[in-house]
Amino acid sequence: MKFYKILEMWYLNNKRDLPWRNSSNPYFIWLSEIILQQTRIQQGLDYYKVFIEHYPTVQDLANASEDEVLKDWQGLGYYSRARNLHFSAQYICNELNGVFPSTYKELLKLKGVGDYTASAIASICFNEKTAVVDGNVYRVLSRYFNINTPINSPKGIKYFKELAQELIKDANPKDYNQAIMDFGSMVCKPANPTCDTCVLADGCIAKAKNLINDLPVKEKKLKVKNKFFNFIVIDNGDFTVIEKRTGNGIWKNLYQFPLIETDKPVDDQALIEDPFFKNNYTKNPELTLYNPEPWVHKLTHQHLHTHFWILNTNSIDNFETTPWSNIDDFAVPKLIHNFLEEYNSK
DNA sequence: CAACCGTGGTA
DNA sequence: TTACCAAGGTT
């Protein structure tokens, strides 16, 4: 039996029941695909439910503010996904008369929609034969065909896409694309794949050559940077001060306490030399270090060594203040959220 | 195009 | 504890 046919039959009996699986509404599929980028289903499920409830249609999403959308996205990470989702919703409503793009080529024009997501929506909603290549597909194909080209190299990306496109030629694209992804996550898993009961085991070259644990090959080029964050938590009892992050770095458009970033750990005297204090506090401000041991927030490519400094003062006239009672209205990074949970419970 | 963009789960 | 990685995309 053909490769695609085996997977389609396996899918018929083993596919997972997911909230968006019985829909062909491109808005729902788009939403699910964006949420699931680099994200486990279990982690994304609740967010999907919230978005469907708060924004039942693409118009509802377009009419919302970016702050609202980011607030609903809070905690999920990769926040450009939320910003692009909102931007693209407005693009669809304003430029496309609310009609969702229906081809791979047109879908690619949406911000936040790349080759994978365009292929997924085009195949699932419009039955277009465009093969998805996600982490699952890389794993299944590299093992079955014994391909050791690095999956994160330009050469590998091109090779696997072409192979996947060839394999989908005679398949039902909607079912086949979802089949190979479900199969990858449930059977051909990264660790401890269930090769003993695998329906593709007969033709799997990696299994025959005992190379399952060596595939796929991935070049590692990740170097972790250490950064030192000092958040100034102004607190006069009722009010605090928060700011919106700008620029294109991490956590763009989310809120935080005023931040002083240094290239090494610092004490309060060094912090007071910062322009933040020079410009706003002429007399000696009294800083209390909230956490003597830094909180190390670990991201994929940087470790944030974080200290929270409490500045108990009444001279906050120069700032735009926020009542503590409203603090939960703002989208904040997980790191800030963790601090707020602890600080406000005391 | 190599570097960057979050958070949480697992071996 | 570390390393990997999870329905990737942008610059």
Is residue A82 one of the residues assigned to a domain? yes
- The torsion angles phi and psi of A234, rounded to 5 degrees, stand at -75, 130
Asked if the Cβ of residue A114 lies within 7 A of any atom of strand B, the reply is no
Give Cβ neighbours of residue A320 (< 8 Å, ≥ 6 apart): A241
Say if residue A199 is in the same domain as residue A244. Answer: no
d(CA A227, CA A269): 19
CATH code at position A48: 1.10.340.30
Q: Which domain holds residue A256?
A: 225-343
CA at A151, C1' at B11: how many angstroms apart? 22
pLDDT, position A220: 81
Give Cβ neighbours of residue A314 (< 8 Å, ≥ 6 apart): A236
Asked if the Cβ of residue A303 lies within 7 A of any atom of strand B, the reply is no
Are residues A125 and A102 in contact, defined by beta-carbon separation less than 8 angstroms?
yes
Say if residue A74 is in the same domain as residue A188. Answer: yes
Are residues A129 and A196 in contact, defined by beta-carbon separation less than 8 angstroms?
no
Q: Which residue is closest to B5 in terms of CA–C1' distance?
A: A78
Say if residue A315 is in the same domain as residue A255. Answer: yes
pLDDT averaged over 10-residue windows placed end to end, chain A, 346 residues:
97 95 96 97 97 98 98 98 98 97 98 98 98 98 97 96 98 97 97 96 97 94 88 92 93 97 87 84 81 94 95 80 96 97 87
Say if residue A186 is in the same domain as residue A239. Answer: no
Bases of chain C with protein Cβ within 7 A: 4-11
The domain boundary residue, chosen from A214, A245, A272: A214
Burial of A32 (0-12, 13-18, 19+ CB in 10 A): buried
Say if residue A206 is in the same domain as residue A144. Answer: yes
Specify whether A293 is catalytic: no
Say which nucleotide is closest to residue A33, CA to C1' distance. C7
Say if residue A62 is in the same domain as residue A100. Answer: yes
What angle, rounded to 10 degrees, do the helices at A26-35 and A80-95 form?
160
d(CA A56, CA A19): 14
pLDDT, position A325: 95
* CA A79 to centroid of chain Cα atoms: 7
Asked if the Cβ of residue A38 lies within 7 A of any atom of strand B, the reply is yes
Asked if the Cβ of residue A220 lies within 7 A of any atom of strand C, the reply is yes
Asked if the Cβ of residue A64 lies within 7 A of any atom of strand C, the reply is no
Q: Please count the helices (runs of H) and the strands (runs of E) in chain A.
A: 15, 9
* Number of domains forming the structure of chain A: 2
Q: Which two tokens stand for residue A259?
A: 């931040």
Is residue A220 one of the residues assigned to a domain? no
CA at A37, C1' at B8: how many angstroms apart? 14
d(CA A255, CA A257): 7
pLDDT, position A23: 94
pLDDT, position A282: 67
For A187-206, the pLDDT digits (tens) are 999 999 999 999 999 999 99
Say if residue A143 is in the same domain as residue A267. Answer: no
